[in-house]
Each structure stands twice: as structure tokens, then as C-alpha cells.
Chain A
Amino acid sequence: MSLKPLLVTSFFGCVAIYAVISGLYWKHATVQEQNRPHLEHAETQEAWFKSLQDAQAGLPVSSALAHPMNLAVLVQRPPGVLGQFGYSREDLYPSAGTINGFSNEALIFRRYELEAPTALMHGRLDLTFVVVVLLPLVLCVLNYDHIARDRERGSLRVLLVQGVRPITLLWSRVFYCSLPSLIVLLLASIVGTLAAGKLNWETCLSLVWWCSGIALYWMLWVTLCALIAACSRNSLSAALSSVTVWIGLVVVLPALLQFTVSNIAASPSKVQLMAVARAAEADALGTLDQREEAFIAQHATELPQSVENFSDYYRRAYLSNASVNERVGTLLDQYQDELSADLRLLNAIQFVSPSTAAFRMLQAISGSGFERAETFQNQARRFFREYFQEIGVATLQQRRLTLAEARSIADFSFREPLAIATLSSSVAGMCVFVLVFTLVTNLTALRMEGTPD
């Protein structure tokens, strides 16, 4: 291997290794943070259960302790299976929230917006960035003048006279120069996965998907670089074409796609949601007495006869919160429907930008990005609804939860989403590009056999 490819590939390898190490550090710190004791509430879950056990054992326990409304549940989004490879903007989304009887659906995730906005805007150097942005640039730099160089020197004609076929010459040079960059990425991925912790079948499967995704995107750029090399007349035009293609596909097209999506299907505004949720909250609190009557009527069979005269703090708090949640929940459902429609639109049109498709595919495989964060927030909200229903009955019946009831709602576990739509549309789009580029490159190379200059 000559000096230029060696230097470029080595530099690329160093950047990839740095990205993996940095990702591993982030994952480790996140896991550590998630494993720390839950001290965000006055009455921790551990203390709550201890009080409940004491109460069930007949020991004197204050009525404020182990009350259903105070059962604090922590909902957390663990790093993705290969989250270390796509952590760039993970801190933008909430990864932990607390639930108790006083929360409402809009307030599960609070005070998480601590990162500096500039840092979030620039993101971090993760392996997904290295693959989607830097790999194409490296391939362009390594492959742009495979044929143009020989054309300029006049050696292409000599090679053809010696019986070398342009198609063989082109592809062999392109693969020779490009393969090391793929190997570097695959090795970095494997090492990054092994170093992240224990392996299980889910991790292995994700790694296979991840490597296949990288290979597909690499293939796309290899065929595109081969096409540029085959079409270029001289080194300068080859360089110009390569840079134009890189900027067009990696920088401009994804930006235009994002711009188009955000203008066609403007994502619902969080400020707007906040305003309507607040109005709904005020409305609910203003009509609390009516709400109370309606709730008692709906739950008549579950409530003791004396409930009509009962107006303790917890019951009123629960009823007012139920009323707020009912209204806020409906708004959040509408908000979620709008987001889902926007996502469907993005899945349908993302194929026009291979880099965007690859980016979303790698995010889906690694377990990072917007879709996963949204899924987590939805799962947390659904969990909250079940939790709230369960503590409601006990609160209104003026009793503590049983241990079994409490255990059934005391733990939240995040179920990884299957982003089939994102993955399939990304893979299909990229496969089409690879086929088209390969076909056009081969046709151009075949034409060269007759007229090498």
C-alpha cells in the first residue's frame, strides 16, 4: 500500500478508535448513573416497602408512610444494546423520570435539560458519525483518481494494450484502497462491543446487523467512488466531482430533507403542548368538586359506603390529579399521533438521501436516537396510567396497597422497540443505489475498452 492510503486509513482508524472509546466511556457513566440509589424523593421506594411490611406485620406506622400516593417508581431508559456507537445526542432526550401519585403525564420527565445547548447542537463524535460522514470522505479521497491519473499520464492506453480490462483495473484498485477502511470499522465495532460488557445473543445479533449496515453503506460509497473514477477525465475534475458528491450527499441533501420534512410535517410544538396542558390543568382544578362526584359515581362499587363524607388530603390530591391527567393524557395522545404521522412520512421519503437512511438505520440498530427516546416516553406514560389506576382504587378505598399489588406496579422495564419500518426503508433504498451505481460504473468501464481517453 502506498503512503497516501496508509496515512489516510491510519488517521481514519485513530478517529474510529477515539469514537469507540469515547462511546464506551459514555455508556459506562450512564449505566453507573442508572444504578445509583434512588434519592430523588423524600420517601425512597426501599423505605416505602419497609414501612408497608411493618404495617402489614401490625407494627405502628404513620398513615403518611407507605401511602399508595407516595410509592415512587423510577422509569429509566437504559443505553441501547450498541448505544456506545450512537450516543452523540442521547442527552437531548430524557432518560429517567419519576412517577408517584402526584405526578401527571406531562410532568414525568423533569429537570433533565442540563446539557449546554452548544454541546447538544454540535453533538459528539460517535461511531455512527464516523461511518456516515467520515467514511465517505475517506473513500472519496482514496479513490477519486484511479483512472484519471492513468489517463493524464497516458498509461491507461498502455495497460489496455497489455490486455488489462478497465473494469478489472477499476474495481481492483477501488477495493484495494477501500477495504482497509471497512476492516477498521468492523474491528472497531467488534472491539467496542466486546469491551462494553457481557455478550448475549441479543448483542451478537445487533452486532451482526450493525456490521451488515456498515458494509452496505460502505458498498454504496465504493460503487459511487468507482463511478466518479470511471467518469472523470482528469485529476482536477475527479477531485471536484468527489468533493461535490460528498458535500451533496452527506451535507446538503440530509439538510434539505430535514428542512422539507420540518416544513411539510411541522412537528408539534412542545411550548404549545405546555400551554394547552396548563390550561387543561387549571380547568380541571377549577371544577374539582364536579370531578369528585363523577369519579365516585364511576367507582361506586369499589369504594366504601362512607366515602361520600370523606375528604382527606390524599383523596382530594388523587382526584384532582386524575382530572388533570385525563385532560393532559388526551393532549399527549394527539401529540403522539401527529409525531407518528411525521415519522411515517420521513420513512417514506428518506430514501432520497442515502446518508440520512444510513444514519437512521445505524441509530435503530445501535439503540439510539429520536424514535427510541419517543418509545421510552410512551411506554413510561402507559406504565403511569396502569400505576395511577392501581393506586387510585386503594387511595379511594382508604387502604394501603397489598405487597403483591405494590410489587406489580413498582418496577418499570423498558422494552426495546423494533424499528422495522425505518430499517426496511433504509436498507431497500441503499440496495437500490448500490445496484444502480454498480450498473452504471460497469457500463462506463466497458465503454472505456473501446475509447480509453
Chain B
Amino acid sequence: MQTVILEVAKKELLTYVGDRRFLILCVLAIAITIAAGLGSWQQISHAHTIRSDAERTDKTTWLEQGEANPHDAAHFGRYALRPVPPLGAFDSGVFDFAGATVWMEAHFQNPPANRAAETKLLSYPFATVTPAWVLAVIVPLALVTLLFGSIALERETGSLRVLVAQNASAWQLLLGKGVAAIVIALLLAVAMVAIALLPVFGYRSLDIEFPRALALVAAFLLGYSSIAGVVLLVSSCATSGYKSFWTATILWILMAFCVPLAGAQIAQDAHPTPRARSFASAIQQEAQAPFWLGSAQYEEVALYEAEVLTKHRAVDRTSLDLNRDALVLQAHERFANRVYDRLYGDLYDQHIKQEEVLRMASALSPVLALQRISRGICGTDTHTQVLFAKSAEEHRRKIVEQLNEDMMYHAGDQSFGYAANRSLWETIDDFDYETPSLSQVLHYYRFEIATLLAWLVLAGSLACAVLGRQFRGKLE
């Protein structure tokens, strides 16, 4: 029994290795991966340098601003710069379309800004060549061209009948072909990921976590195996070679392009994000106007003042020599932050809900599931971006509070005439943000991983059932 499986696998592997179309596609994919890898590594290294320079400039500018009122300094603000993940060179994910910096200023929460995609001359639908794109989109096509005739062409040429005559069972045949396909998938996953990651040795400033690279190989192996399973299923069902090819190709187009696009469309329709002007109006009407022009100030300031007095066990403001202007400014921060928690909370909830729709859509497409896992492992997904935005906002609140409190406790009667110096600026921490760990990422993308496994098992079982029925029909 094992002999039959091994014989089939061996024969299939020899056929695959000699398949001209597959070899051409593989050579093409490798060439594009090398070019994409080199280009992406160069770009990520450049982005890394730009970010380091910008961070340095921001810090120097902050520290050397001279004497200034702490609240003026809070308005001048600081920038939170999103870290450049080294594996972004492998898969830039959504990061080109997400803001790379957050301006942390007084009174306002800002969304991440300075998106790289805004300066890209072409907004063509599939115009981002990264190693991950080649591996997730082009290599599955190579698998399609390799495997579409695996069973269909054997049926056409009559060699399937010979196997039936030799008492080979459907599952033996399928397992043999499956083993060969998985061997090819393993070779492709290891080779392509390795090729894509090779240029890292030229960029010593970028360190790659080895477990993440291994996780990528495992993800691509699982993804390729699932796709191979689907193509084998198509080949088992199709009545001729070219029908099998068309069906497998159309499925590839659906999985690689249509499902992600339709998923994104549905996600945006079902969970729309607010429009920029409505959002800006909401900020003005809910976070600014009620406090500065309306009556909300009195209650908010009284509450905050009571809190401060309780904290210091003081009876009134004068006993602490608190500056009233600073008290009002910080009271506004507390007032506005509650509004921002709601407005930006809703906004990021919508982003996450859109992600959930795409997560569901990935159940229909192993390619999309694979892409999502890859982005997660590389740290370039929406989840990471939202965490960055939230961390930056937390940091902004800390900075503004620290500066307002300095003015509150030290300005006395000078109020806005009070000036602090470098010693205060130096107490402000730099923005620091930790990306999710690999185990967190794998936990977050467990649905996609399960999806790939389900596709593999389902496609394999169905192919076995279809082929078994055909075998029984022929034997009768």
C-alpha cells in the first residue's frame, strides 16, 4: 500500500520537475522575488533611516526649543513615529496606506498621518510588488499550472484506467499526488521565503526575528498545501484538461483578487468610517465649543480642582498656589479626552469591524487568509496600526498632563508669562511602542490558520470522495 503511494509520489515529482511551464513560472517568480526583495529591502532601509533622522530631529527640536511656556510647548507638541518593522521589506502589508506619524499636541487627538501611498504616482489596483505578493499571488498560480492536469490529464490520456486496473485505490492515488504536491509546496515555501529574506544580510541595521521567519515558512507551507488541495480537487472533478485549467485559474483569480476586493467593498459598506469634515465638525462641536464657548467649563474645572485638592489634602487653590489657567487647560484635556475616547474609539472600532469582515472573507479564499497571516507575522497589519495609534494617544495625554501640571504648580501668578526650560523638556519621555509578539499574532490570526487547515482537509476529502466514485464506476 505504501509502495503504491510512494511510487505515485515519485512519478509525480519527476513529472513536476520536468514540467516546462511550471519551471518557467518558478524561474519568473524567483526573478521577481529577487528584484522585489532587493527593492523592498532598500526601501525599508531608507524608511528606517528617514524615521531615525525624523526621530532625532523631533527630539533635538523639542529639547532645544529654548525657554517657553509649558502650554506653548504642549501646542508645539511632539511626534510619535511608527517603528519600521524589518519584515516590512518582505510584506509591507497595509503600512503604505496607514499613517506613519502621530502629532501629539495639546487639545487635539490626531489620527496617524503621512501615508506613503499618498505620494505614490500610481494607484493601480495591484501595483505593489513585494516578496510577499509574489509568494502569495504568483506562486499559487505556478501551483495551478503544475497541478491542474494532475488527474484530469491522466484521465484524458487513459493512464488513470491503467492505475485502476492495477488495483490502486482512489485515496492511495490522491495521497501519492498530495505528498508530491506538499513536497513541492515545502520546497517552494522554504526556497522563496529564504530568497526573499536573503538581502537582509546586506542591511545590518535591520534585525529579523528568526522565529518570525520560520513562522512565515510554516504559513506559506500551509497555504500552498491548501491551494494544492483545491487544485487537485478541481482536477479530480474536471472532465478535460483545459476545463480543469480554466476552473482552477478562475478559482485563483477569485481567491487572489475578487474575494479580497469584494470583502473590502462589503466591509466598507457595512461599517463605513466617518467623513473627514463631519469628523472635524464633531471635534469642534463636542470637544472644543462646549468647553470654551459653552457652560461645560465650570463643572469640569470644579471637578478637576476638587480632585487636585483632595490629592494634596488642601482646602483651597490658594493654599497650593495653583495656577488657574493651567487648571482650566488640563480640565479641558480631561473633558476633550472623553469625547476623543468616543469619537476615535468608534473610528477604530469601525476599522476593526472591517477587519472582521475580511477575516470572514478569508474563509472563502486561502490566498487572502495567507496574506493576512503574513501581514500579521511581519507586523504590518491593521491590528498593529490601531495599537500604534492608541499608544501614541496614551503618550500624548501623558505629555500634555505633565506640561500642564508643571504650569499649574509653578506658574503662580505669571500664568502664560511663566517660562520653563530644558530641564522640563528633558523629563518628557520619548514615545516607545512595542509591537505584538509572535504568539499574540498567531493567536489573533487563529481563524485564518484554521481556515487554511479546513481548506486542506475539505479539499482532500472531497477529491478523495469524487475520485473514489469515479474509480468504482470504472471498476463496475
Q: Which of B118, B121, B264, B283 contacts A119 (CB 8 A)?
A: B264
A240 part of interface (Cβ distance < 8 Å): yes
Q: Which of A118, A239, A274 contacts B101 (CB 8 A)?
A: A274
Q: Is the CB of A117 within 8 A of B276?
A: no
Given known contacts A42-B284, A89-B123, A370-B120, is B245 in contact with A239 (CB within 8 Å)? Answer: yes
A266 part of interface (Cβ distance < 8 Å): yes
Q: Which of A39, A96, A116, A255 contacts B351 (CB 8 A)?
A: A116
Q: Which of B66, B242, B276, B347 contacts A235 (CB 8 A)?
A: B242
Q: Is the CB of B125 within 8 A of A129?
A: yes
B interface footprint on A236-277 (CB within 8 Å = 1, 0 otherwise): 100110010001001110111111011100111111111110
* Cα distance A289–B364 in the bound complex, in angstroms: 65
B415 part of interface (Cβ distance < 8 Å): no
Residues of A within 8 A of B117 (CB): 92, 120-121
* Cα distance A270–B39 in the bound complex, in angstroms: 19
Residues of A within 8 A of B280 (CB): 40, 98, 111
B263 part of interface (Cβ distance < 8 Å): yes
* Cα distance A139–B123 in the bound complex, in angstroms: 24
Q: Is the CB of A96 within 8 A of B277?
A: yes
Given known contacts A255-B129, A267-B119, is B385 in contact with A117 (CB within 8 Å)? Answer: yes
Q: Is the CB of A39 within 8 A of B281?
A: yes
Given known contacts A39-B285, A93-B118, is B128 in contact with A116 (CB within 8 Å)? Answer: no
Taking residues whose C-beta sits less than 8 angstroms from the other chain, chain B's interface range is 35 or more
Q: Is the CB of A278 within 8 A of B265?
A: no
A407 part of interface (Cβ distance < 8 Å): no
Quote the shortest CB–CB distance from B400 to chain A (angstroms): 17
A22 part of interface (Cβ distance < 8 Å): yes
B194 part of interface (Cβ distance < 8 Å): no
Quote the shortest CB–CB distance from B392 to chain A (angstroms): 13
Q: Is the CB of B253 within 8 A of A137?
A: yes
Q: Which of A92, A254, A268, A271 contacts B124 (CB 8 A)?
A: A254
B267 part of interface (Cβ distance < 8 Å): yes
Chain A: which residue is nearest B111 at the CB level?
Answer: A113
* Cα distance A251–B258 in the bound complex, in angstroms: 13
Main secondary structure of the interface of A (DSSP, over half): helix
Quote the shortest CB–CB distance from A284 to chain B (angstroms): 12
Given known contacts A117-B95, A258-B129, is B275 in contact with A33 (CB within 8 Å)? Answer: yes
* Cα distance A17–B373 in the bound complex, in angstroms: 33
Residues of B81-105 at the interface with A, using a CB-CB cut-off of 8 Å, are: 81, 94-101
Q: Is the CB of B119 within 8 A of A339?
A: yes
Main secondary structure of the interface of B (DSSP, over half): helix
A68 part of interface (Cβ distance < 8 Å): no
Q: In the complex, how many residues of chain A place their beta carbon closer than 8 angstroms to a beta carbon of chain B?
A: 84
Chain A: which residue is nearest B96 at the CB level?
Answer: A121
Quote the shortest CB–CB distance from A359 to chain B (angstroms): 5
Residues of A348-376 at the interface with B, using a CB-CB cut-off of 8 Å, are: 355-356, 359-360, 363, 369-370
A interface footprint on B110-134 (CB within 8 Å = 1, 0 otherwise): 1111111111111111111100010
Quote the shortest CB–CB distance from A153 to chain B (angstroms): 14
Residues of A21-38 at the interface with B, using a CB-CB cut-off of 8 Å, are: 22, 29-30, 33-34, 36
B interface footprint on A43-54 (CB within 8 Å = 1, 0 otherwise): 000000000000
Q: Is the CB of A278 within 8 A of B119?
A: no
* Cα distance A240–B142 in the bound complex, in angstroms: 12
Quote the shortest CB–CB distance from B250 to chain A (angstroms): 8
* Cα distance A90–B36 in the bound complex, in angstroms: 27
B421 part of interface (Cβ distance < 8 Å): no
A398 part of interface (Cβ distance < 8 Å): no
* Cα distance A137–B257 in the bound complex, in angstroms: 12
Given known contacts A259-B36, A271-B100, is B354 in contact with A118 (CB within 8 Å)? Answer: yes
A112 part of interface (Cβ distance < 8 Å): yes
Given known contacts A114-B273, A261-B122, is B115 in contact with A270 (CB within 8 Å)? Answer: yes
Residues of B within 8 A of A275 (CB): 50, 53-54, 57-58
Q: Which of A114, A266, A269, A279 contacts B274 (CB 8 A)?
A: A114
Q: Which of B65, B128, B145, B293 contacts A282 (CB 8 A)?
A: B65
Residues of A within 8 A of B64 (CB): 282
Q: Is the CB of A118 within 8 A of B112?
A: no
For this complex, 16 residue pairs linking A to B, each with C-beta atoms less than 8 Å apart, are A39-B281, A40-B281, A111-B111, A118-B94, A118-B97, A120-B94, A123-B123, A123-B264, A239-B245, A251-B126, A259-B39, A261-B122, A268-B119, A270-B116, A282-B64, A369-B123
17 other A-B residue contacts (CB within 8 Å) besides A122-B263, A272-B54: A39-B281, A92-B115, A95-B276, A116-B273, A118-B94, A118-B358, A141-B246, A239-B245, A251-B126, A252-B138, A259-B35, A259-B39, A266-B43, A268-B119, A278-B79, A279-B61, A339-B121
